[in-house]
Amino acid sequence: MFQGSYVALVTPFHEDGSVNIEKLKELCEWHVQNGTDGIVALGTTGESSTMSHEEDDLVVRTVLDTVNGRIPVIAGSGSNSTETALMKSKTYKDLGADGLLVITPYYNKANAKGMYRHFTEIANQVDIPMILYNVPGRTGCALTVDCVEALSHHKNIVGLKEASGNISYVAQVARYVNDDFALFSGNDDMIVPIMSLGGSGVISVFANICPKESHDIVDLCLKGDYQKARELQLKYLDLINALFIEVNPIPVKEAMNMLGMNVGGYRLPLCEMDEKNREILRGKLRILEA
């Protein structure tokens, strides 16, 4: 079972917009050395929506080769096309990914039956662990509680990344957490609340700049020390919020560049931050100097 702080890894770019493979290797090594429990490549933060399939494959292969089994690697293989998601899932399994993160089928959405069939079609044909990804603010569609319950019984579906921000929904799906089905926070500002309801960890944007701090919040929860976990969560809450002052991953990449990590820019339609927001982010980063 996956647990801990998994970084939703950015994809670094050169000035010309191409993937910076050497920087990607450097980031992977840094995470291994600084407490990150696992890496999620090609999540929302990884900008795969503006990358080619060949670039996606290159990123996953590079992360796997660099990590070399030291921590788990989960690959984002979702699509609004079941056929495409299946193709990508098979590719990442063959490359050696430890698991898959599969998003709800955005834009075309699907009814409840179609949503269920989308995930089961992939899980039936790709025999590695799959984590469902619920983020309705991005996709325009959500996994219903009943659909989560039904999917939780599939032997290859091992968890849910929950990023709706709705704690009532979290409480309902938390009823299906067991040894074979885990719950992960997809929101850095909700790590402690979700883990208090049985969560196993976080898939984190914050961990791109604070891997040890993200790990420590989760680890304290896993050990049952919610008081200290809460103190850490609240200590970094303003910084976490600043990482979402504009659409992810714009602020976190900006923060990484401010910290000298040199991960480059974005691909359109994403672009540089508004200057006012940049100064707010710069101010919140000062907590790391304390």
CATH label of the domain that carries residue 187: 3.20.20.70
Residue 109 annotated in active site? no
**Identity at 11, one-letter amino acid code:** T
Residue 133 annotated in active site? yes
Flag whether pLDDT at 233 surpasses 90: yes
CA distance 278 to 282: 6
Residue 173 domain flag: yes
Q: pLDDT above 90 covers what percent of the chain?
A: 99
Residue 280 domain flag: no
pLDDT band at 1 (very low <50, low <70, confident <90, very high): confident
Domain range spanning residue 178? 4-224
Helix or strand holding residue 242 (H, E): helix 237-242
User: Active site residue: 161, 236, 253, 266, which one?
Assistant: 161
Residue 254 domain flag: no
DSSP letter for each residue of 197-233: TT--EEEESGGGT-HHHHHHHHHHHHTT-HHHHHHHH
The whole-number pLDDT of residue 42 equals: 97
Residue 211 domain flag: yes
Residue 285 domain flag: no
Q: How many domains does the chain have?
A: 1
Residue 99 domain flag: yes
pLDDT digits (tens, 9 = 90+) for 101-127: 999 999 998 999 999 999 999 999 999
Go through 51-75 and write b for each residue having 16 or more CB atoms within 10 A of its CB, e for each that does not: beeebbbebbbbbbebbeeebbbbb
Structure token pair of residue 125: 């044909």
- In this prediction the pTM is 0.96
Report the DSSP beta bridge partners of residue 161: 133, 184
Residue 156 domain flag: yes
Burial label, 151 (beta-carbon count in 10 A; 0-12, 13-18, 19+):
buried
User: Active site residue: 6, 92, 133, 236, which one?
Assistant: 133
Average pLDDT score, the chain: 97
pLDDT digits (tens, 9 = 90+) for 78-94: 999 999 999 999 999 99
Flag whether pLDDT at 290 surpasses 80: no
The whole-number pLDDT of residue 209 equals: 98
Residue 169 domain flag: yes
